[in-house]
Structure 1
Amino acid sequence: MNRSAVHLATLVTALLAGPALAAEVPATPPADTAYASIDQLQQRMQAGTLDSRQLTGQLLQRIERIDRAGPSLHAVIETNPDALQLAGALDAARGAHDKRGPLYGIPVLLKDNIDTGDRMLTTAGSLALAGAPAPHDAGLVERLRKGGALILGKTNLSEWANFRSNHASSGWSARGGQTKNPYVLDRNPCGSSAGSAAAVAAGLTTVAIGSETDGSIICPAAMNGIVGIKPTLGLVSRSGIVPISHSQDTAGPMARSVADAAALLSVIAGSDPRDPATRDADKHATDYTKFLDPNGLKGKRIGVVRQLAGAEPNADRVLEKSIALMKAQGAIIVDPVKLPHLAELGDPEITVLLYDFKHDINAYLATRQGLGVKTLADLIAFNRTHASEEMPWFGQELFEQAEEKGPLGDKAYTDALARAKRLSGPQGIDAALKSQHLDALLAPSWGPAFMTDPVLGDHIVSGDPTVGGASQPAAVSGYPSITVPAGFAHGLPVGIVLFGAQWSEPTLIAIAYGFEQHAQAWQPPRFLDTVDGKPVLPGR
């Protein structure tokens, strides 16, 4: 978009400041409300001791106190200017809904790459998309609204879902600044769903939606001590979501408990005619809360993928304790299990992502009017023109590499896609499961959060055996995975990840819930200024 430097600076200031909060917002929300589960909140609403408007107001005030002041997490990029009005309407209609779903009146934050057809923007963190709101709700947002959920706002993210540069700092965007990890503020929240994870961990929302191409739900959920589910590709609609790759992208739940994540997945899962990949979703979508069995570990055959461990000693220590707990609760642990072709996924994956991004972002931009950018080439030019705002720390070499790619009919693309899917799925995860008749595979999610470093960028890469990360096999294959809090190291959360066959969400949720109920690993953040430092927010 052709803006003068003055106009752009004005826009940046306004966007970073965010919309003013309504005067009716109450003073200080109780911490037990901030960290309450969906079920606990619904019980209070049923009893008449809380309503959606009160809850929404309390969370808006908490966002003001913690996200914009106090520790200044920069997790929430924008609050919904109509949130209190919408919450009041839900309260007024509550009695007319005899079959209210679990999310009725519950606040949800959305990653800022998810379209909402309202007054909020959808920018993927980039100033290039800040000119006008999206014209329609994304498919999953339609489902949330139908289920009575309250869209509280948008969360910050790694700009362009971390697909602009290999040297980026996760959780940074030109529009939202640098998201902080609420456990230790100088540590990184990981990305790209950094704001969604940090907001859930800090009690700024009940639940949130993230999205993943490779690691963007699993890593931030693990490093912020929460639960994240990356669903099977095609279970949740991607229509109206700023894309990287139709071959790997999916949205998914982020929550403080497996139960809340399962409830959220139950609402957003299902077929959408706007996303052909969801053609079979209705055949598999279900009420995932049916699988919340405290004995969900008993009799389950779980294989330990040692190839995805051994990189980080704190993560390995938590993994060993988790394995011992699973055995004690009746799981059958097969250790180790070889995951074939793991080292062969990187090259075909990046080829597919570069081709897909050019095709998919151009198609998405065609749905957004009034922006002034219509193609990837326009985005590259915008970033160059506004480099001081958009590229103060890192560049856009991934954008430039993608722009050089040809159409999706290129043999280089079709060969890479076929190879990536074959090696990760039938000859990868499926082969490992079949070899030992397993229900799921297990690995450390990642190690504890690394320091935020805008100069050198992230000190972590999914699939790199020197730094850890277990998201790649499920991401490339399009199979489901779930990360669950499992322990702490130096005050920083550490998680484990479970992944399995296509459409195996019920099994993974049962295992994860059984583990969670006995591990009891979740703890609220302390907002320390540094490891072993002092809390920035006393009386959190």
Structure 2
Amino acid sequence: MTHEPTGSSAIEAVATSLQRIAELDRSGPLLRSVIETNPSAERLASDRDAERARGYVRGPLHGVPVLVKDNVDTADLPTTAGSYALTGDLPAADAPLVARLREAGAIVLGKANLSEWANFRSTHSSSGWSALGGLCVNPHALDRSAGGSSSGSGVAVAAGIAPMAVGTETDGSIACPAALNGVVGLKPTVGLIPRTGVVPISHSQDTPGPMTRSVFDAALMLGVLAGTSASDPATLVPGRVALSDYTAFCSGSGDVAGLRIGLPRKKLWGYSPQADAAAEAAVRLLAAQGVSVVDDADLSSLEELYEVDHELTVLRSEFKAGIAAYLATRGPDGPKSLADLVAFNRDHADKELVHFGQEAFEQSLDAPDLSDPAYLHALAECRRLGRTDGIDAALRTFGVDALVMPSYPPAWKIDLVNGDHVNGSCTKPAAVAGYPILTVPSGMVDGLPVGVAFVGTAWSEGTLLRLGYAVEQLLNLGDQLRPAYRPPQAG
């Protein structure tokens, strides 16, 4: 199974992408979804077309332009996490996931903008802003948030700049921009895709994942990205299931009869009437296809999960250690520790700290080490509350294959003074568990997309793709998801 390039050739697909960047990112609506384009993209497209003409197809993404979030290493393009601190050198090598894209024939079109440092620099940040890339905005309404931290990846796919993009998620960073921009986002089980060469926050929660226009494309891209890596032990976990082709889960109008889904109403529904209504409509469509629906399939751990923020302890500790390990792979003249990054931001406050601070960085400096009992207790609690007493307990208790809920509320207005205004989301239990989330567009609210999310246990991507594909086919939103680039509104 292959993905044909948009247009009749790879060179036409890349030319279209570059034209869209020129029209939408550099002028016109100024979406600012791309930090840097690949100067070799057109040459690579010509090479892929010549190979296809000879009958040689590298893989399922032969000739397809793909954007890569700018916290994923590319040997031929800078990797900056949106910060001036990492502009001094190129990474030594492609991240394994980028190497897999290239092996599959994909053309790395460029690097997507993001919330700087994957939105882990400040506790009052505005998603979509980075010092290098500027403010990435929602193409459906230019005064609305693009979400984060994979902001540019979601915006570029929604705006037709690239047919697919790589995002990364620790807690919401794929699901949020996918839902807010009206695209498909798949955050897989932690360990299904290698994280080596990805600027880290948390080794227990981080994962790359696909962001695409369709569930089928997400499945196709997942098969390319999934794999093992000796440099990322999480990919070598016993019992791990990785397929080379996930598209078998996306067939016909969606083969879902006999599946059972649960609706965890407590905390994971009810924060947005508009998103609830769209998710309810999707559930009704699934029920009409033979899916059994269990209402009020709540996670017994939710109150405790939200009451004490063990996740934040884990993220701070793992970030402090992980960022030092990552920085050691970069050039000799750059920052080598979190303390170096804090000092850099203070010294370059006119560029880095113009809208919000670096409280998350500073708090992480004092975080427990990875051998500290406080960290180990927090990690164990996250796994208990997310897995054992959380998602796994709900799936077992209610006899369901997946949990279904609204993804996010409609995109909020951008506020660079006070930061994001997020009323609720689908992500926290799966984030601390390291379990997969698939978000699929479920409707439009006054021109703004909303999504429905599917959450399962470890390695259940196939089940989530079956459900998401069925909803996508049944809803058939089509042109409704193409943004009209509404200008900012008064008030």
Normalising by structure 1, we get a TM-score of 0.87
Q: Distance in 2 between matches of 1:296 and 1:473?
A: 27
Which letter maps to 1:127? Answer: Y
Which letter maps to 1:160? Answer: W
For the 8 Å contact 1:263–1:288, the answer to whether it is kept is yes
Q: Distance in 1 between matches of 2:80 and 2:333?
A: 10
Q: Distance in 2 between matches of 1:377 and 1:97?
A: 53
SS of residue matched to 1:115: coil
Matched, 1:428 2:384: no
Partner residue of 1:418 out of 358, 367, 380? 380
Task: Name the counterpart of 1:72.
Answer: 30
Task: Name the counterpart of 1:439.
Answer: 401
Task: Name the counterpart of 2:323.
Answer: 361
Task: Tell me the CA shift for residue 296 of structure 1.
Answer: 2.6
Partner residue of 2:60 out of 102, 110, 134? 102
Q: Distance in 2 between matches of 1:40 and 1:141?
A: 19
Task: Name the counterpart of 1:471.
Answer: 427
Q: Distance in 2 between matches of 1:484 and 1:220?
A: 11
Partner residue of 2:263 out of 304, 308, 312? 304
Matched, 1:487 2:443: yes
Report Cα offsets for 1:166-202 as digits up to 9, x if no partner.
1000000000000010000100011000000000000
Matched, 1:122 2:98: no
Task: Tell me the CA shift for residue 372 of structure 1.
Answer: 2.4
For the 8 Å contact 1:183–1:492, the answer to whether it is kept is yes
Partner residue of 2:246 out of 281, 288, 310? 288
For the 8 Å contact 1:196–1:209, the answer to whether it is kept is yes
Task: Tell me the CA shift for residue 81 of structure 1.
Answer: 1.0
Cα 1:282–1:101 change in 2 (3 A) is: farther
Which letter maps to 1:458? Answer: D
For the 8 Å contact 2:51–2:57, the answer to whether it is kept is no
Task: Name the counterpart of 2:370.
Answer: 408
Which letter maps to 2:256? Answer: L
Task: Name the counterpart of 2:354.
Answer: 392
Matched, 1:206 2:163: yes
For the 8 Å contact 2:311–2:378, the answer to whether it is kept is yes
Report Cα offsets for 1:92-128 as digits up to 9, x if no partner.
222455554220110000000000011x110000000
Task: Tell me the CA shift for residue 40 of structure 1.
Answer: 5.2
Task: Tell me the CA shift for residue 326 of structure 1.
Answer: 1.4
- Give runs of aligned pairs for residues 262-273 of structure 1, distance below 5 A: 262-273=219-230
SS of residue matched to 1:65: helix
Task: Tell me the CA shift for residue 283 of structure 1.
Answer: 4.0
Which letter maps to 2:265? Answer: R
For the 8 Å contact 1:490–1:531, the answer to whether it is kept is no
- Give runs of aligned pairs for residues 35-54 of structure 1, distance below 5 A: 39=3, 41=5, 50-54=8-12
Task: Tell me the CA shift for residue 148 of structure 1.
Answer: 0.7
Cα 1:263–1:357 change in 2 (3 A) is: same
For the 8 Å contact 2:114–2:130, the answer to whether it is kept is yes
Report Cα offsets for 1:468-490 as digits up to 9, x if no partner.
10111111101111000000111
Deviates more, 1:77-86 or 1:337-346: 337-346
Which letter maps to 1:527? Answer: Y
Task: Name the counterpart of 2:469.
Answer: 513
Cα 1:68–1:126 change in 2 (3 A) is: same
Q: Distance in 2 between matches of 1:384 and 1:407?
A: 24
Matched, 1:341 2:301: yes
Partner residue of 1:317 out of 270, 274, 277? 277
Q: Distance in 2 between matches of 1:381 and 1:111?
A: 25
Task: Name the counterpart of 1:22.
Answer: none
For the 8 Å contact 1:131–1:370, the answer to whether it is kept is no
Q: Structure 2 stretches of 5 or more lacking a match?
A: none
Identity of aligned residues (%): 52
- RMSD across aligned C-alpha pairs, in angstroms? 1.7
SS of residue matched to 1:284: coil
Task: Tell me the CA shift for residue 437 of structure 1.
Answer: 1.4
Task: Tell me the CA shift for residue 286 of structure 1.
Answer: 3.4
SS of residue matched to 2:5: helix
Matched, 1:234 2:191: yes
Q: Distance in 2 between matches of 1:515 and 1:313?
A: 20
Which letter maps to 1:107? Answer: P
Task: Name the counterpart of 2:182.
Answer: 225
Task: Tell me the CA shift for residue 57 of structure 1.
Answer: 1.4
SS of residue matched to 1:482: strand
Task: Tell me the CA shift for residue 423 of structure 1.
Answer: 1.2
Task: Tell me the CA shift for residue 320 of structure 1.
Answer: 1.8
Partner residue of 1:380 out of 321, 335, 342? 342
SS of residue matched to 2:284: helix
For the 8 Å contact 1:297–1:515, the answer to whether it is kept is no
Task: Tell me the CA shift for residue 508 of structure 1.
Answer: 0.5
Task: Name the counterpart of 1:144.
Answer: 101
Which letter maps to 1:79? Answer: T
Cα 1:269–1:62 change in 2 (3 A) is: same
For the 8 Å contact 2:58–2:103, the answer to whether it is kept is no
Partner residue of 2:418 out of 452, 456, 465? 456
Task: Name the counterpart of 1:32.
Answer: none
Q: Distance in 1 between matches of 2:334 and 2:393?
A: 48
Task: Name the counterpart of 1:496.
Answer: 452
Task: Tell me the CA shift for residue 285 of structure 1.
Answer: 2.7
Deviates more, 1:276-285 or 1:363-372: 276-285
Q: Distance in 1 between matches of 2:326 and 2:360?
A: 18
For the 8 Å contact 1:271–1:282, the answer to whether it is kept is no
For the 8 Å contact 1:490–1:532, the answer to whether it is kept is no
Matched, 1:84 2:48: no
Task: Tell me the CA shift for residue 371 of structure 1.
Answer: 4.3
Partner residue of 1:57 out of 15, 32, 43? 15
Partner residue of 2:207 out of 250, 272, 275? 250
Cα 1:443–1:202 change in 2 (3 A) is: same
Matched, 1:93 2:51: yes
For the 8 Å contact 2:84–2:131, the answer to whether it is kept is yes
SS of residue matched to 1:41: coil
Task: Tell me the CA shift for residue 130 of structure 1.
Answer: 0.8
Which letter maps to 1:233? Answer: V
Task: Tell me the CA shift for residue 425 of structure 1.
Answer: 0.6
Task: Tell me the CA shift for residue 295 of structure 1.
Answer: 2.9
Q: Distance in 1 between matches of 2:55 and 2:240?
A: 24
Q: Distance in 2 between matches of 1:324 and 1:249?
A: 33
Q: Distance in 2 between matches of 1:502 and 1:532?
A: 45
Q: Structure 1 stretches of 5 or more lacking a match?
A: 1-36, 45-49, 461-466, 534-540
Which letter maps to 2:338? Answer: L
Cα 1:304–1:531 change in 2 (3 A) is: farther
Task: Tell me the CA shift for residue 344 of structure 1.
Answer: 2.5
- Give runs of aligned pairs for residues 12-31 of structure 1, distance below 5 A: none
Report Cα offsets for 1:406-425 as digits up to 9, x if no partner.
32000000010011011101
